[in-house]
Amino acid sequence: MNPRQTHDFDLFVIGGGSGGVRAARMAATRGVRVGMVESGRMGGTCVNVGCIPKKLYSYAAHYAEAFVEARGFGWELAHAPSLDWPTLKANRAREIERLNGIYDGLMVNAGVQRLQGRGRIVDAHTVEVTAEDGATTRHSARHILIATGGKPHVPGIEGRELVVTSDDMFDLPTLPRRLVVVGGGYIGCEMASIFHGLGAQTTLLYRGEQILRGFDDEVRNFTADEMRKAGVDVRVHCDVARIEAGDGGVRRLLLSDGTPLEADVVLYATGRQPNVEGLGLAEVGVKQADNGAVQVNAHFATHVRSIHALGDVVGRLELTPVALAEAMALVDHLFGPAPGKPVRTMDYDTIPTAVFTHPPVGTVGLTEAQARQKFDAIRVFRGDFKPLKHTLSGRSERTLVKLIVDAASDRVVGLHMVGADAGEIVQGFAVALKCGATKAQFDATIGIHPTSAEEFVTLREVART
């Protein structure tokens, strides 16, 4: 019997975030029948409480810096600028609502059957959908895709009910006068920079030896120094023992060394965990890691071969573009590539990323420590400098650029930047690294002057080997 006749759908997607939407839309263009269930707003973490609102608020925070810098360029502000927090929130909400509509439109226009509710896997080919009114329906599919993303994790600290997570930060009732951020990963560092820029007195607490674990050590140290120079109180080797409620909504923290600290808002940015609650995975035999991440093979199939998973829920690289690429690779594997195109596969090497701290970080390839482990010998080129803009702005912010080269092949295997527009600059160089560019080819490339980007093609002196 034709499998298309035995199931309602060829692919049923649980989760309307970046990966789920891309998989559903690409599969539908192959002419297969696709269904999708989403319990919240379309777009997932990235659109609603992640990448997009974070970047919008980062732009807002940069205006505070720009107002100060403008004086060095001759601009006089008649009145001291002030932030209208409700206006920022309302404008952000309107843009997010627009994007939600676009994502819904993508599904409708592609012919995807869109369901609102919570999905639970009943067996290898069946998903039960519970609507908001409690009504349930069951849908069968040849393939089921779990694309439910992740959610913030808050440890079981005394007073945890008094903290907020990154999901809450964009809609706080009022802009906090004093903010404490617990956690030194990219989310914690970004939120600390953003809200400091918006006007909050900000303290970042991290129990490890340095923020941004997993990034290049020199980048970590440089970023921490620049954040401190900007006014963020970055404290490492520092943890919270408990949190108590004070008068007027004040949060009183007792640090592990006995130091007291008060804040209006305490943000816990201590990692994320896969969003798998209520999916029924254990009951149908889908294996998970200790942290709940769905275990999949190279083709994103679980131990139940008709059930697949991708994106943050599998706990590989938790980046929106990675989820998009995984979705396209999965669709090609299940339903064939687009006409005239090869079957896409997922390559996790040389994936660029950015951290929208102030100043931002851009990075692609290996850290210096990783390169030393992988290659017999390396050459490190680096430079830090005051950008041209700040020769008049009066700010002391500096920029770091760094190249890591495999000595044997002359290939550039790592490229890192801390400074204005780092994400925009590193994206372009990521193409070069993906193509296997050598240091000699970097040297032969003419720079665009005067820019920070040109520093990557003018680094001549080896800093260390």
Residue type, 448: I
Residue 137, H or E segment: strand 136-146
Secondary structure of residue 242 in the 3-state scheme: strand
- Burial code (b: 16+ CB inside 10 Å, e: under 16) for 242-255 equals ebeeeeeeebbbbb
58 alpha-carbon distance from chain centroid: 14
Looking only at the bridges linking them, the beta strands covering 307-309 and 136-146 are parallel
The residue with tokens 């674990």 is: 213
CA distance 94 to 99: 9
Burial class (CB in 10 A: 0-12, 13-18, 19+), 395: middle
Number of H helices, E strands in the chain: 13, 21
Give the CA distances from residue 316 to residues 40, 44, 46, 125, 285, in Å, rounded to whole numbers and listed in that order.
24, 17, 16, 25, 21
Omega of the bond prior to 450 within 30 degrees of 0, cis? Answer: yes
Radius of gyration over alpha carbons of the chain, in Å?
A: 24
Looking only at the bridges linking them, the beta strands covering 126-130 and 118-123 are antiparallel
Asked if 165 and 250 count as a contact pair (C-beta separation under 8 A), the reply is no
Quick one: residue 276, left, alpha or beta (phi over 0 = left, psi -120 to 50 = alpha)? alpha
List, in sequence order, every beta strand (DSSP E) within 247-398. 251-255, 260-263, 265-268, 272-274, 307-309, 353-355, 361-365, 378-385
Angle of CA points 460, 464, 465, to nearest 5°: 105
Asked if 349 and 329 count as a contact pair (C-beta separation under 8 A), the reply is no
Residue type, 162: L
CA distance 252 to 268: 14
CA distance 179 to 461: 42
The residues that are catalytic are: 449
